[in-house]
């Protein structure tokens, strides 16, 4: 029996998965993300929702969509990257076309909800999902509930500024970020940021995999790059502690596959956190890339149950 359906809307593909009562994937469908028009993007999403309904044999199946970007609750408009949805009321247009409810949630929030309820963060009262890949994103889940805010931007700690004192101590310059700001954590913590740190240390760019492989093999220069990266990661954890103070941080994204990345970050924390405080547990995501559809389905089920509870 299908319990809920989740859709992961990305810049290159749309993936839909039907989940059973135990949250195992029953069936998955992938199609290319339309790049030619907004109307075709809406049509493609409709196709995936209808496929999930057909798979479940029910038009009342809870369905959620995870989307990269923000959704302003006041205006209904989206801000997205690599999608033809910025400035458009995608949620409204899709539900109007389908004549049914569909839950929308930020993709980082979907990752966090999946890991908090079913994955590496299960059993913790509060979980921060930290995705480190080509960018840095995140989400915060407390008591099994996502804290998303007005624009769905709560958790976007990658776009907070690295403290000036840390930048000065590390000898780094503040550089422009893709978000339009300067000196964000993402500029040195994401995969391209690790390359930037290599340029700072040895004068040339080296990709993240080569850096970590060489560091593990004893290359002192690459170990210095990893040392700088870990100190910046520790500063981000300190920022998280002083704002949401999570019990657990679950790491996802491409850099989560670095061997022992959880230990590397945890060992860098002393001296960065507030004195006499307990550090959060650092865990690696259980579900990885599949957390997107699972988290979207979980968000849809939560929304469906809330609606049913309203008298």
What are the Cα distances from residue 257, in Å, to 119, 203, 212?
Answer: 16, 26, 10
Q: What are phi and psi of 196, to 5 degrees?
A: -65, -35
Bin 276: left if φ > 0, else alpha if -120 < ψ < 50, else beta: left
| Mean pLDDT (the chain, rounded) | 93
pLDDT, position 178: 86
pLDDT, position 92: 96
In this structure, of 11-15, 49-53, 234-238, the range with the lowest mean pLDDT score is 11-15
Mean pLDDT of 199-225: 94
Say yes or no to pLDDT of 309 above 80.
no
pLDDT range class, residue 148, cuts 50, 70, 90: confident
Q: What is the DSSP string of 223-266?
A: HHHHHHHHHHHHHHHHHHHHHT--SEEEEESGGGGSTTHHHHHH
**Domains of the chain from N-terminus onward:** 2-107+289-309 (3.30.420.40), 120-285 (3.30.420.40)
pLDDT range class, residue 80, cuts 50, 70, 90: confident
Mean pLDDT of 6-29: 95
Say yes or no to pLDDT of 231 above 90.
yes
Q: pLDDT digit string (tens) for 25-52?
A: 999 999 999 999 999 999 999 999 999 9
DSSP designation for 161: B
pLDDT range class, residue 310, cuts 50, 70, 90: very low
pLDDT range class, residue 290, cuts 50, 70, 90: confident
Mean pLDDT of 143-170: 91
Q: Per mean pLDDT, which of 61-75, 106-120, 147-161 is the most reliable?
A: 106-120
28: helix, strand or coil: strand
pLDDT range class, residue 308, cuts 50, 70, 90: low
pLDDT range class, residue 311, cuts 50, 70, 90: very low
DSSP designation for 158: G
Mean pLDDT of 265-294: 93
Say yes or no to pLDDT of 110 above 90.
yes
Alpha-carbon Rg for the chain in angstroms: 20
Is residue 38 within 8 A of residue 85, CB to CB? The reply is yes
Mean pLDDT of 267-285: 96
In this structure, of 131-135, 208-212, 289-293, 297-301, the range with the lowest mean pLDDT score is 289-293
Element (H, E) at 188: helix 186-189
List, in order, residues 6 or more apart from 299 with CB less than 8 Å away. Answer: 64, 66, 103, 105, 109, 110, 113, 146
pLDDT, position 306: 64
- Residue in the block written with tokens 């220069």: 221
- Residue in the block written with tokens 């990257």: 81
pLDDT, position 49: 98
Q: What is the pTM of this model?
A: 0.93
Mean pLDDT of 263-291: 93
């Amino acid at each position: 029996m299908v319990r809920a359906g989740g859709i992961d809307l990305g810049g290159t593909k749309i993936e839909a998965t039907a989940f059973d009562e135990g949250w195992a994937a029953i069936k998955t469908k992938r199609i290319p993300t339309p790049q030619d028009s907004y109307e075709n993007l809406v049509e493609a999403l409709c196709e995936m929702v209808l496929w999930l309904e057909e798979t479940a044999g029910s038009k009342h199946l809870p369905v959620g969509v995870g989307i990269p970007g923000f959704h302003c609750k006041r205006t209904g408009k989206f801000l997205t990257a690599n999608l033809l949805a910025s400035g458009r009321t995608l949620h409204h247009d899709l539900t109007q076309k389908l004549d049914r409810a569909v839950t929308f949630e930020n993709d980082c929030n979907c990752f966090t909800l999946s890991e908090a309820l079913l994955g590496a963060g299960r059993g913790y009262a509060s979980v921060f999902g930290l995705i480190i890949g080509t960018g840095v994103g995140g989400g915060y889940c407390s008591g099994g509930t996502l804290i998303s805010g007005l624009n769905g931007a709560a958790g976007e700690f990658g776009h907070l500024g690295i403290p000036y004192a840390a930048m000065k101590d590390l000898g780094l310059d503040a550089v422009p970020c893709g978000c339009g700001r300067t000196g964000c954590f993402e500029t040195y913590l994401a995969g391209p940021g690790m390359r930037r740190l290599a340029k700072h240390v040895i004068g040339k760019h080296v990709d993240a995999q080569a850096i970590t492989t060489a560091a593990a093999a004893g290359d002192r220069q690459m170990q210095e790059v990893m040392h700088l990266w870990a100190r910046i990661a520790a500063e981000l954890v300190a920022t998280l502690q002083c704002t949401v103070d999570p019990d657990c941080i679950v790491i996802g994204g491409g850099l989560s596959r670095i061997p022992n990345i959880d230990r590397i970050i945890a060992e860098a924390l002393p001296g960065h956190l507030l004195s006499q405080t307990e550090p959060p547990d650092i865990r690696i995501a259980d579900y990885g890339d599949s957390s997107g559809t699972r988290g979207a389905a979980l968000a849809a089920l939560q929304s469906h149950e809330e609606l049913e509870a309203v008298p």
